[in-house]
Structure 1
Amino acid sequence: MKKLVFALLLGLLVQDCSELYENPEQVYLIEEGRHDSKVVAGFVGDKLRTLKSSTLRFTARFDESARYNLGNKNQEDINKLFGFADANSMHHDNSIRFGWRYSAQKDQVEIFAYAYQNGQMNFEYITDLQIGANALFQINLTDESYELAVNGDHTVTMERKVKDKLGVYYLLFPYFGGNETAPHDIRIYINERV
């Protein structure tokens, strides 16, 4: 009987500890009138975090707060979702991330590849997402390119122009704008995958 109780307690302990190794969903809040985001739910780690491998994988979803109407040409600006600065560069010099903007005509979120290459901004449309839908995002880093995929079947490859491939790759988090700040509170739900 003691062995059975011990085995059950050990099983419960191991089960509870396994939750420590799961990445919880993080809720990023971009407050009205701001560009930058902050984590309001989920694991709050160091503000400055780095890429630990040649692949960044995460799921993300946008709730109804992603709908906005700026009423001007800045509606076409691309907001930033998640990515990283390349090898010891500042993110406005060399970086790659996913971008997004709300399209009222489609009532969907448009997703883009968004890069700075030697100080020049480049972007390319990837796909549309429905409000509330979870999507898997992945950036693969190779010597010559960035390979971006959404749900494994919508892919874009962009040239990687950084010369020094070694160094620190710091993560870049949700950001609203362009020129405009968030017209109301916007929440983005991200779950990083290892």
Structure 2
Amino acid sequence: MRIIFYLLVISLIGVHGCKHSGPTIDPTTPTTVVYHIKAGENFADHNDLSFLTKTSLSFSAVFDSSAIYTSKIPENQHDINKLYGFSDCDSHHQTASARYGWNWRDKALRIYAYCYRNGERVSEELGTVELNKPTDYQLSIVGGNYVFTFKGKETVIARGCTTVDSKNRYRLYPYFGGDEPAPHNITISITEK
């Protein structure tokens, strides 16, 4: 019986070779990841350590109605939640990083440039987005600056270093807070391009 099994396996290898007969996956094809931040938590799922060797990050994001929230402490409504970006300058992200941020304030989903430069937090409001609609984002390192491109407008924020060849730049994923954790489950869909 074993001989018949081995002959069958050998004949299949001979006929099909070692070629993959399934669909070919193109590594340049955008992949969508749906992130969930659970009620009472800050961190999203799917947040494994992932290094980024390139100096730009392009993606689209979709927020659904779960992005609408009211903070327990009214001042915290101004806190900026984190969307997506990267650490920089071979440092921890609270020393050097750039990413997009967001919050729900005044009945609108507001988007921010959000950076750490030598441990100092720097942010700038960029505009608003519609719920359930994909919006494109680009974040690039250009010399000593971060360039945030949002809705066709570039916003430049100075970096804390000038090195471009970082070996330890890692992705920064969705995160809720500030001072308060997510008041309910929040879902954000991100497609990196």
TM-score by length of 2: 0.83
1:28 corresponds in structure 2 to 35
- The residue correspondences of 1:164-175 to structure 2 (distance < 5 A) are 164-167=163-166, 168-175=168-175
CA drift of 1:87 comes to 2.3
> Residue in 2 aligned with 1:48?
49
In the TM superposition, what is the alpha-carbon distance from 1:161 to its structure 2 partner?
Answer: 1.7
The amino acid of 1:150's aligned partner reads F
> Aligned AA for 2:54?
S
Amino acid at match of 1:117: R
The TM-score, its normalising length taken from structure 1, stands at 0.82
Q: 1:99 aligns with which of 101, 107, 129?
A: 101
Q: Residue 38 of structure 1 corresponds to which residue in structure 2?
A: 45
Gaps of 5+ in 1: 1-12, 40-45
Q: Which amino acid aligns with 1:81?
A: L
SS of the residue 2:24 aligns to: helix
Q: Which amino acid aligns with 2:50?
A: R
Structure 2 CA distance for partners of 1:155 and 1:20, relative to 1, 3 Å: closer
The equivalences for 1:55-70 within 5 A come to 55-70=56-71
Q: Which residue of 1 aligns with 2:143?
A: 143
| Contact persistence 1:98–1:112 (CA under 8 A) | yes
Q: What letter matches 2:31 in structure 1?
A: P
Distance in 1 (alpha carbons) for counterparts of 2:69 and 2:41: 14
CA positional deviation for 1:108: 2.4
Distance in 2 between residues matched to 1:84 and 1:24, nearest whole Å: 18
Query: Which residue, 62, 66, 73 being the options, matches 2:75?
Result: 73
RMSD: 1.8
Contact 2:55 2:164 in 1 (8 A): no
| Equivalent position of 1:17 in the other structure | 24
Q: Deviations over 1:67-116 (max 9, x none)?
A: 0011411011000000001021100000000000012x3x3210000000
- In structure 2, the CA distance between the partners of 1:165 and 1:70, relative to structure 1 (3 Å rule), is same
Distance in 2 between residues matched to 1:66 and 1:154, nearest whole Å: 24
1:176 counterpart residue number: 176
SS in 2 for 1:25: strand
1: CA distance, partners of 2:120 / 2:31: 35
Structure 1 distance, partners of 2:103, 2:160, is 26
- What fraction of aligned residue pairs are identical, expressed as a percent? 32
Corresponding residue for 1:90?
Answer: 92
The alpha-carbon distance between structure 1 residues 93 and 120, as it changes in their structure 2 partners (threshold 3 A), is: same
Q: For 2:45, give the aligned amino acid.
A: K
SS at match of 1:132: coil
The residue that corresponds to 1:43 in the other structure is: none
- Structure 1, residues 155-193: CA drift from partner, whole Å, max 9, x if none? 211001225443221110000001010000000000011
Aligned to 1:118: 118
Contact persistence 1:25–1:189 (CA under 8 A):
yes
- Residue 18 of structure 1 and its aligned partner are, at CA, apart by 4.1
Change (3 A) 1:138 1:21: closer
> What is the aligned residue count?
171
Corresponding residue of 2:18: none
CA contact (8 A) 1:126 1:155 kept: no
Q: Which amino acid aligns with 1:37?
A: A
Residue of structure 1 in register with 2:7 after alignment? none
1:74 aligned counterpart, secondary structure: helix
